[in-house]
Chain A
Amino acid sequence: MPGADNLIVEARAALLDAVAALEAHKDSVILIGAQAIYLHTGHATFAIAEATKDSDLAIDARALGEDPLLEEAMTRAGFILNPVTRQPGAWMSPNGIPVDLMVPENLAGSGSRRGVRIPPHDKHSARRAAGLEAAIIDQSPMRVQSLDGDGRSEVINVAGPAALLVAKLHKLGERVDTPDRLNDKDAHDIYRLLVATETSELAETIRQLLAEELSQRATTRALEFVQQLFAAGPDALGSTMAGRAEEGVGQPDTVSASVSFLAQDLLSALA
């Protein structure tokens, strides 16, 4: 894919800009999504290249300070809310690179719309999302470096593989009924996580997530998705999607079978 490398470089730059803009709230900001997944799975090799233009940041609203307001901090750094989608929390860098601010459903306050209720921050400053609760618990600081060789880096809280798995499973599982919103790459990202993380290590963290009140429900639901979408077999929806992501460049059958076995292994380790 021409330009794919460049996209990753620009996405990383936009991430560092956003984190710098939110410096005052640094302890409450956690990197999730594909960029976090690649930080954990970079040592394993896969047939399809790492590719994402998005940076996804989860906000721990519990400890979030009042100053500066999220919308002020982002705007001051040159970000604007995406004028096309008009979605809450869908920020765009001056170069047009998306940076999403998201608050776990459990911490997003009342209201059923997509915006958040975390005053005094604006309700459009971030978007509520299900399944991110695990990222509040399973995370640790990592030094994240710029990819364009300018030597820039930031220490960022990065969600762990278990939390990233829970979040991706929610993203997939909640879109099963709206197939046009399903993306094969999300299932392939789950395959990446399962390949690159030892099953025992993953199971250990998931047990901790099940023991925490904040993440218990999201994690339980995620394990139902694991069963239904992956462990059920290589023909299950998630397994098929993960394989399909490698169509033409990799080995779809091998990926579908592998992700299903790894999902079964994870559930056995938790049983």
Chain B
Amino acid sequence: MSERDLLLRASERLQATLPAGWDVQITASTHPEVDANLKLERFGSPVLTYRVETKRTITRADVLSLLGKQRYITERLARQTDEAEPWLLATRYLSRQIQDLLRERDVSYIDATGNIFISAEKPLVVISERGATADPWRGVGRPTTSLNGLPAALMVRALADYTPPLTVPELAKVAGASIGAAYRLVDYLKNEGLLSRVDRGPITEVDWPELLRRWSQDAPVLNANSTRGFLEPRGVDSVVQKLGKTTSPQRYAVSGSLATQPYAPYAEARLGLIYAEDPMALAADLGLRPVESGANVILAAPRSPVVFERTSTWRDITIVAPSQAAADLLGGPGRNPAEGEFLLDWMKENPDAWRRQFDR
């Protein structure tokens, strides 16, 4: 799809959301740095004009650099004409994450699948519409840029848990991943704007809250592990008590709401998540009943042993590291995502309580 085609498609989508009497007009721009102008008209009178930045595809890093470029253009136009119209991004497809980023920065956007956000103060106009949640034009066989899989799990956790600077070989070492996989992942994350790295040098900064959010969406806890629901009829706290007393030799680690209790308890835990190498044996030890609905404990056989890395002890039970608990909650069911954001806030305020230095 050419840039012109996608702009037409996206503006058709926008037109479809408008009430009768409103029109979308696309016109060519005389300004060399502006791809086109988009006008909203009501009964033939102009209401809003945007200068359009058209991009076929876009990454987080592209958005961040576009913000800088557009700020510069705005300033220059304002100097020339007193008033610069706001800018709008038009693309083939925008992922949820990028939409969130744009909204956060109050940037209006339209995509060819119907994801729309138009926000203006004068006159007050807000148009918001959801389109596709996956890129329908993405070619088959292209690498799915994703944090799914074992090496990604090892390295995401290490990037969150270790305070930079950290060289790529050091990352590979603490994570237990291959050096090749570490370079590939670091390149990818740098392109996505999730970490900064000196050229040929160490990683200097990691946007770990966003990294954990991305990981939780690419590999949500209930998809990435084999899980089964159980019920402890006396409630989740009773599971903690039993687990603290168990003499079972098997390795386990408690995650989810329970793992936030020592740091950032959001509310009474209603759903326990426990990783165990042999979930059925642990369920039998604890007297949990397998149920199809109404579970208050989920036992998961982890695909990645990373869940057992950097655990701690609370009320005589083993709990996962905050970074693991946060990702599990962000991708979890019910009110888990809100609990995950609450934990991220605590983690941002108390990095010394959980991030560690790489021991050189």
B295 CB to nearest chain A CB (Å): 7
Decide yes or no whether B262 CB sits under 8 A from chain A. no
A-side interface mostly: helix
Q: Return the chain B residue nearest A196 by Cβ.
A: B234
B266-299 interface bits toward A, Cβ cutoff 8 Å, 1 = contact, 0 = none: 0010100000000000000000010101111000
Residues of B near A234 (CB, < 8 A) are: 293-294
A203 CB to nearest chain B CB (Å): 15
Bound form: Cα–Cα A24–B45 in Å: 88
B343 CB to nearest chain A CB (Å): 21
Decide yes or no whether B35 CB sits under 8 A from chain A. no
Q: Return the chain A residue nearest B289 by Cβ.
A: A261
Decide yes or no whether A200 CB sits under 8 A from chain B. no
User: B237 touching A254 by the CB < 8 A rule?
Assistant: no
Q: Return the chain B residue nearest A45 by Cβ.
A: B268
Decide yes or no whether B351 CB sits under 8 A from chain A. no
Number of A residues whose C-beta is below 8 Å from B?
20
**A45-B268, A251-B270 given; A257·B235 CB < 8 A:** no
User: B293 touching A253 by the CB < 8 A rule?
Assistant: yes
Decide yes or no whether B233 CB sits under 8 A from chain A. yes
**A251-B270, A251-B294 given; A195·B235 CB < 8 A:** yes
User: A258 touching B270 by the CB < 8 A rule?
Assistant: no
User: B231 touching A254 by the CB < 8 A rule?
Assistant: yes
Bound form: Cα–Cα A259–B289 in Å: 13
Bound form: Cα–Cα A252–B295 in Å: 11
Bound form: Cα–Cα A253–B271 in Å: 13
User: B237 touching A257 by the CB < 8 A rule?
Assistant: no
Decide yes or no whether A77 CB sits under 8 A from chain B. no
User: B293 touching A257 by the CB < 8 A rule?
Assistant: yes
User: A258 touching B294 by the CB < 8 A rule?
Assistant: yes
Q: Return the chain B residue nearest A257 by Cβ.
A: B294
Q: Return the chain B residue nearest A194 by Cβ.
A: B233
Given A45, A195, A250, A253, which contacts B233 in the complex, CB threshold below 8 Å? A195
Residues of A near B294 (CB, < 8 A) are: 234, 243, 251-258
Residues of B near A262 (CB, < 8 A) are: 233-234
8 Å CB interface, A236-259 against B? 243, 250-259
Bound form: Cα–Cα A130–B60 in Å: 70
User: A251 touching B296 by the CB < 8 A rule?
Assistant: yes
Decide yes or no whether A44 CB sits under 8 A from chain B. yes
Residues of B near A194 (CB, < 8 A) are: 233
Residues of B near A259 (CB, < 8 A) are: 233
Q: Supply 7 further A-B pairs (C-beta < 8 A) apart from A44-B234, A253-B294.
A: A45-B268, A47-B270, A194-B233, A243-B294, A251-B294, A257-B231, A257-B294
Interface residues of B (CB under 8 A from A): 231-235, 237, 268, 270, 289, 291, 293-296
The 7 closest A-B pairs by CB, nearest first: A253-B294, A258-B233, A257-B294, A254-B294, A261-B233, A253-B293, A262-B233
Q: What are 24 A-B contacts defined by CB distance under 8 Å?
A: A44-B234, A45-B235, A45-B237, A195-B233, A234-B293, A243-B294, A250-B270, A251-B296, A253-B293, A253-B294, A254-B294, A254-B296, A256-B294, A257-B231, A257-B233, A257-B291, A257-B294, A258-B235, A258-B294, A258-B296, A259-B233, A261-B233, A261-B289, A262-B233
